[in-house]
Structure 1
Amino acid sequence: MEPRPSARIEIDAPLELVWSVMLDTASYGEWNPFVERVECPSPASVGDPIVLHVRWRNGSTARSPERITALEHPTTDDEGTTTACLAYVYEGLPAKLGLVRGTRFQRLSQRPGGPTVYATVEEFSGPLVGFAGPGRVADGFERHAAGLKQRAESLR
């Protein structure tokens, strides 16, 4: 079984507001303790390159080249549940060599009258996944989720 670092949090803010915070990559440095800076076209589109500048809990940093593979803007189904999804695939040298592959999904859902649920997961594969540090990625996702919650709820 491949590692799947993940995080989930409930946010007391409308899904559309949380989505706008997620897509405002220019402001990540103001609230995101994990992804401190993002290089990305604005507005972002599927197929666009995106470079994440991450800060691990120990203070070290890394640059992660990615490509957007899904950008599903908020839609509401017949029961009134609203969902949205952002996904991107890792394109660094280990991926090009087939050693570590990863796709990160960030999904939002909100039932009528309920909180927005933010859930993120990285689907890793490849022979060197252990060197990618799934545990530290999970820690980063938890810090990212907490920052997103704080930011969205402060803007509500």
Structure 2
Amino acid sequence: MSAPLRRAPALLVSALFVAAAVWPALREPPRDSFPLSNYPMFSTVRDKPWLDVIVGFDAEGEEHEIRPNLVANIEVMQAAQTIRRAVRARRAKLLCARVAERVAADGELGHIVRLEVQRRRFDPRTYFLDPEVDPDGATPLAVRRKARCRVPVAKDRS
């Protein structure tokens, strides 16, 4: 067998590896895939996302953050996923009621009288800017209320 024919399998395998490494960059639309990725989270312009949140309100209507441990646990991403799943499964009202019970039992949040599960749309390009540069960067572009519930009056705070 001649030398070029003996090298053909190695050249073919090499060409396949090169093609596999380049292929993710050519996919449209870009998507993340293990083990080969074109890292779309960094390489594409993202639309304005909707984020699901739970917001507390006091008697004057002022907004207050609800800590992740009152939603799921202290992990922010797990709390966010809990809210997202409840909204998608149309169980936002049930989640709202459960979180309201936890808020009522929490000694620091006695001023919160109601909760809302909301979908908020943000512009990621301005969200993290300095408030002095763009005071409205962290202000939602749109808000959709998915559920609303009252915080029960705890026995020790009545």
With normalisation by structure 1, the TM-score equals 0.23
With normalisation by structure 2, the TM-score equals 0.23
- Larger helix percent: 2
CA radius of gyration, larger in: 2
Kindly indicate whether structure 1 or structure 2 has the higher relative contact order, using CA contacts under 8 Å at least 6 residues apart: 1
- Larger strand percent: 1
